[in-house]
């Protein structure tokens, strides 16, 4: 046997793209520790994909009390220090707990005063100080750990003050040398509060409380706006959304600010973790499947879920799924308006979500009104979500606005045909079905109107009930579609190298 050269790098590393880049991800949630929506998925899946792109990634999130014990007990204490924060000189404890998993280092910022609540988000009165603290503590932790990344990649308003603190207060320290990226996952949430409170909790210089940075109107300060001013690059999670947010309708008051900064604004579409979401191995499904047996096995999953949820057990019924936060953003007023027209004796609707009372109540009402045909699961339940993705024939995502949207990507991964409004990432990821060429991945509609959603559902029903062979071909096309992070992770990597050649 030939002797091994101990100095030779493993073969796999030779194939990694060069140069290696180091990145600190800073954000407010990360699956599986804590997740309330798509941001949690991205904070988990993108770092993993970047490791394969030769990136050294550290994820920094708060150590909330609600993080399950099985993760808390694996965390290792890395150190603690005291950090000045407030205008009156009040300082706070910053603890760092660490957990290394799948090539990614997770650092949890520990402070009982801020993170002792069950949920990551409570109300703005508490959340504003919490995330002022978190943004500054994350930078201080990087210096404390003596780990200076090439790139600091911040996510949404909760981490938006990171580039601002970095330049205003960390000059001359190691972390000052890093370039910053701020990714907008949802422009609806900006971290707006009155100037006096923000001045107190940040102690940032008065000069920053002007219209170019923090000031929003006469009395308010806007944390996201400040981050957009100071970040080296702004990204958002689809090309279409990058264009939309520069218009008044989608801009949520920041459209002019984003137009001003649009030279540094890019759109990079999200992917999903195709190991976490894999119908061939998903232990939560009644029957696993791949392209070869998807059509038959999806029927098995459908029957099992119908039984579990008390729906009429019949695999020939068309099942429409809806998995969503129940808020106005998700187009639920359209869904509510048309459910009576959708339920026709051959169609079932399964809803999974929590959120606004008015939607929770209306979906409960429909479950009662159409017993056996409508099931409303008013809860947050990962396991049930997996089963609904596998068992449904089509997935409804009729959003008013949708920065990227993950439900349509997960649906396609499970061979479930998305029915979406052409906005944001929904437009970029779902190619409308073309009956003449037999191409496309789903059914789409453009204007935000209930009639157009109903029309899209009816087009889907027509294909499903009158030309099942073509429907099944679309199921297979969706299963084959690449919804992984691979190509988008490469784009992020290219951006990191562009910022730090």
> In the complex, what is the shortest distance from the CB of residue 406 to ligand ADP, in angstroms, rounded to a whole number?
4
Give the single-character DSSP code of 32. T
CA-to-CA distance for 393 and 339, rounded, in angstroms? 17
Rank residues 404 and 479 by Cβ distance to ligand ADP and give the closer one: 404
Q: Are 324 and 353 in contact (CB under 8 A)?
A: yes
Binding track, positions 10-49, relative to ligand ADP; x by CB under 6 A: ---------------------------xx--x--------
Rank residues 78 and 325 by Cβ distance to ligand ADP and give the closer one: 325
**C-beta atoms surrounding 501 within 10 Å:** 6
Q: Are 84 and 33 in contact (CB under 8 A)?
A: no
Rank residues 185 and 215 by Cβ distance to ligand ADP and give the closer one: 185
Asked if 428 interacts with ligand ADP (CB under 6 A), we say no
Enter the tokens of residue 286: 């009644």
Asked if 354 interacts with ligand ADP (CB under 6 A), we say yes
Asked if 407 interacts with ligand ADP (CB under 6 A), we say yes
> Please, where are the H alpha helices in 59-148?
69-72, 112-115, 124-144
Cβ-based neighbours of 448, under 8 Å, separated by 6 or more: 331, 334, 400, 421
> In the complex, what is the shortest distance from the CB of residue 268 to ligand ADP, in angstroms, rounded to a whole number?
14
Please tell me whether residue 403 adopts helix, strand or coil conformation: coil
Asked if 396 interacts with ligand ADP (CB under 6 A), we say no
Q: Are 261 and 163 in contact (CB under 8 A)?
A: no
Q: Are 34 and 64 in contact (CB under 8 A)?
A: yes
**C-beta atoms surrounding 284 within 10 Å:** 13
Asked if 110 interacts with ligand ADP (CB under 6 A), we say no
Asked if 278 interacts with ligand ADP (CB under 6 A), we say no
Rank residues 104 and 352 by Cβ distance to ligand ADP and give the closer one: 352
> What phi and psi values does residue 238 have, to the nearest 5 degrees?
-165, 160
CA distances from 314 to 319, 373, 375 (A): 10, 11, 15
Asked if 385 interacts with ligand ADP (CB under 6 A), we say yes
Rank residues 140 and 187 by Cβ distance to ligand ADP and give the closer one: 187
Stated as kind and residue range, the H or E segment containing 464 is helix 450-466
Rank residues 1 and 383 by Cβ distance to ligand ADP and give the closer one: 383
Using CB under 6 A as the binding criterion, the count of chain residues that bind ligand ADP stands at 17
Asked if 324 interacts with ligand ADP (CB under 6 A), we say yes
Kindly provide the b/e burial profile for residues 118-137, where b requires at least 16 CB atoms within 10 angstroms of the residue's own CB.
eebeeeeeebbbbbbbbbbb
Asked if 205 interacts with ligand ADP (CB under 6 A), we say no
Rank residues 405 and 442 by Cβ distance to ligand ADP and give the closer one: 405
CA-to-CA distance for 96 and 138, rounded, in angstroms? 9
Beta pairing, strands 21-26 & 55-62: parallel
Asked if 484 interacts with ligand ADP (CB under 6 A), we say no
Applying CB under 6 A, the span of 215-223, 290-298, 349-357, 456-464 interacting with ligand ADP comes to 349-357
Rank residues 163 and 424 by Cβ distance to ligand ADP and give the closer one: 424
Asked if 419 interacts with ligand ADP (CB under 6 A), we say no
Asked if 406 interacts with ligand ADP (CB under 6 A), we say yes
Asked if 284 interacts with ligand ADP (CB under 6 A), we say no
Asked if 323 interacts with ligand ADP (CB under 6 A), we say yes
Q: Enumerate binding residues for ligand ADP (CB under 6 A).
A: 37-38, 41, 323-325, 352-354, 380-382, 385, 405-407, 410
């Amino acid at each position: 046997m030939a002797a091994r050269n101990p100095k030779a790098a493993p073969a796999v590393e030779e194939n990694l793209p060069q140069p290696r880049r180091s990145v600190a991800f800073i954000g407010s949630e990360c699956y599986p520790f804590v997740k309330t929506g798509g941001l949690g998925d991205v904070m988990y899946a993108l770092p993993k994909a970047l490791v394969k792109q030769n990136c050294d990634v550290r994820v920094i999130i708060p150590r909330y009390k609600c993080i399950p014990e099985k993760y808390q007990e694996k965390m290792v204490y890395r150190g603690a220090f005291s950090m000045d924060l407030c205008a009156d000189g009040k300082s706070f404890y910053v603890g760092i707990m660490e957990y290394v998993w799948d090539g990614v280092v997770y650092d949890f910022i520990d402070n009982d005063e801020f993170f002792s609540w069950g949920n990551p988000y409570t109300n703005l009165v508490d959340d504003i100080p919490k995330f002022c603290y978190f943004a500054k503590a994350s930078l201080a932790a990087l210096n404390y750990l003596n780990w200076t990344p090439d790139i600091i990649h911040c996510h949404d308003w909760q981490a938006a003050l990171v580039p601002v603190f970095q330049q205003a207060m960390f000059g001359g320290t190691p972390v000052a040398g890093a370039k910053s990226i701020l990714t907008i996952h949802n422009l609806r949430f900006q971290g707006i509060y009155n100037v006096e409170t923000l001045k107190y909790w940040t102690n940032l210089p008065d000069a920053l409380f002007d219209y170019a940075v923090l000031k929003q109107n006469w009395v308010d300060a806007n944390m996201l706006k400040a981050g957009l001013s100071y970040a080296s690059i702004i990204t958002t999670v689809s090309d279409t959304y990058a264009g939309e947010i520069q218009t008044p309708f989608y801009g949520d008051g920041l459209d002019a600010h984003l137009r001003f900064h649009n030279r540094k604004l890019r759109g990079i579409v999200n992917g999903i973790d195709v190991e976490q979401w894999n119908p061939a191995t998903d232990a939560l499904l009644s029957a696993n499947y791949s392209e070869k047996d998807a059509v038959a096995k999806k029927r098995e999953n459908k029957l099992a879920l119908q039984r579990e949820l008390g729906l009429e057990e019949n695999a020939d019924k068309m099942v429409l799924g809806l998995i969503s936060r129940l808020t106005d953003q998700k187009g639920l007023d359209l869904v509510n308006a048309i459910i009576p027209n959708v339920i026709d004796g051959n169609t079932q609707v399964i809803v999974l979500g929590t959120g606004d009372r008015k939607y929770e109540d209306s979906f409960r009402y429909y479950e009662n009104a159409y017993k056996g045909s409508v099931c409303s699961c008013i809860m947050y339940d990962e396991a049930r979500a997996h089963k609904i993705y596998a068992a449904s024939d089509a997935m409804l995502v009729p959003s008013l606005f949708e920065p990227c949207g993950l439900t349509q990507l997960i649906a396609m991964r499970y061979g479930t045909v998305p029915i979406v409004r052409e906005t944001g990432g929904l437009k970029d990821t779902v190619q409308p079905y073309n009956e003449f060429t037999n191409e496309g991945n789903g059914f789409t509609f453009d204007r935000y109107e209930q009639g157009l959603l109903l029309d899209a559902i009816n087009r889907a029903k027509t294909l499903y009930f009158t030309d099942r062979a073509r429907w099944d071909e679309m199921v297979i096309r969706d299963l084959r579609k690449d919804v992984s992070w691979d190509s988008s992770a490469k784009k992020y990597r290219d951006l990191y190298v562009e910022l730090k050649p």
